Amino acid sequence: MDKILVTRSSMPDYDEYCREIKKLWDSHWLTNMGEEHIQLQKDLENFLDCPHVVLYTNGHLALECVIAAMQLPKHAEVITTPFTFASTTHAIVRNGLTPVFCDINPDDYTIDVDKIESLITEKTVAIVPVHVYGNMCDVEAIGSLAKKYDLKVIYDAAHAFAVRYKGISSANFGDASMFSFHATKVFNTIEGGAVCFQNDELVQIMNDMKNFGIRNEDSVMYVGGNAKMNEFQAAMGICNLRHLKDEIAKRKIIVERYRENLDGIKGIKLSKIQEDVESNYAYFPVVFDGFTDNRNRILSDLAKENIVARRYFYPITNSFECYKYLPTAGREKTPVAAFCADRVLTLPLYADLSIEDVDRICGIIVNR
């Protein structure tokens, strides 16, 4: 029996991709913002209803660059969540800033907005909230706090591509939003990422910073790095974007079947469906609390049947060895995040996962 992975990359038809990259053999222009790169940027600005999209080779470098572009004072504090991938916290620290960990809410696993204000000090300069599993943070409450205390807001929106809140694209909240286009995401460019924002003044610096800080042949304006998206990545994105709405529609059917099978079972908690949010159905997290067996036993039982689920996110980032020195490090400082990390599994979810396989996965969980 074929292995069922937790995710599977969406890809266009082989011939479609070959047609898209044929022009690269004609031009020999493979990187440095060529024709494919420019086209994908325009396509994404239109799709996301966002005036500025800057492309990067991956989401992590995109996040590092946008934090750097905000020119925040070194050693200042940035409030964020530990219930995220390592990249979020690393991007803050690699910019010489100090992360301050705020707990999450237990309904959608995003940062608990009721706990942010108590963490704000005279050293606080920004908030880096994380949209989780396609769930949106409380952007209105975060926006109000940012205005009250004059803080920058940079969203880690790696999970939230194509999500909308009250009809507004997730690209258009805060000072900037970072998206990951990794192969495992709803929309992928093989590897890749982007930063989206409204501020015209950021365009030049964001482009400079991904190209070693080079403004032109005579001028190097910033201590930048190399984070340029290549033309093959961009071509994959152009193709995948054409089919994205159909891919999300297929994911929705799978998620609805999971909910039909698992909702209401004692000891199984599903993520709350958010009001006014148009989801991308990126992940299907299940929190096992008081179920027959614990999360790790169920993970093992699925693996025996060649089904790969994932403990995501586990461990939480404020329990990493490299962050033991931080004042808000330690699982006990963020008990809700720790509780969820110990109990969550994301179940297989991708556009061509069959309903029969969804039923089989649920049967292993419920009937064991």
Q: What integer pLDDT is reported at residue 291 of this predicted model?
A: 77
Give whole-number Cα distances, 289 to 78, 266, 268, in Å. 32, 8, 6
Give whole-number Cα distances, 211 to 66, 259, 267, 280, in Å. 13, 45, 50, 31
Q: What's the whole-number average pLDDT of the chain?
A: 97
Can you say how many angstroms the Cα of residue 161 is from the centroid of all Cα atoms in its chain?
Answer: 8
Q: Residue 218: what are its φ and ψ, rounded to 5°? A: -110, -5
Give whole-number Cα distances, 320 to 330, 336, 337, 362, in Å. 8, 17, 14, 32
Q: Residue 290: what are its φ and ψ, rounded to 5°? A: 80, 10
* pLDDT greater than 80 at residue 213: yes
Mean predicted confidence (pLDDT) in 41-57: 98
Q: What integer pLDDT is reported at residue 150 of this predicted model?
A: 98
Per-residue pLDDT reduced to its tens digit, 86-109: 999 999 999 999 999 999 999 999
| β-bridge pairing 268-270 and 284-288 | antiparallel
Which carries the bigger pLDDT value, residue 290 or residue 42? 42
Mean predicted confidence (pLDDT) in 347-366: 97
Q: What integer pLDDT is reported at residue 294 of this predicted model?
A: 87
Mean predicted confidence (pLDDT) in 204-217: 94
Q: What is the pTM of this model?
A: 0.97
H or E segment to which residue 77 belongs: strand 77-80
Position 326 confidence tier, pLDDT thresholds 50, 70, 90: very high
Per-residue pLDDT reduced to its tens digit, 301-319: 999 999 999 999 999 999 9
Among residues 273, 281, 214, the alpha carbon closest in space to that of 251 is found at 281
* pLDDT greater than 80 at residue 117: yes
Question: What are the chain's domains?
Answer: 14-102+109-242 (3.40.640.10), 244-366 (3.90.1150.10)
Q: What integer pLDDT is reported at residue 17 of this predicted model?
A: 98
* Residues paired with 277 in a beta bridge: 165
Per-residue pLDDT reduced to its tens digit, 243-268: 999 999 999 999 999 999 999 999 99
* pLDDT greater than 90 at residue 290: no
Give whole-number Cα distances, 291 to 106, 259, 298, 360, in Å. 17, 16, 10, 18
* pLDDT greater than 80 at residue 293: no
* pLDDT greater than 90 at residue 2: no
Residue 72 is given by DSSP the state P
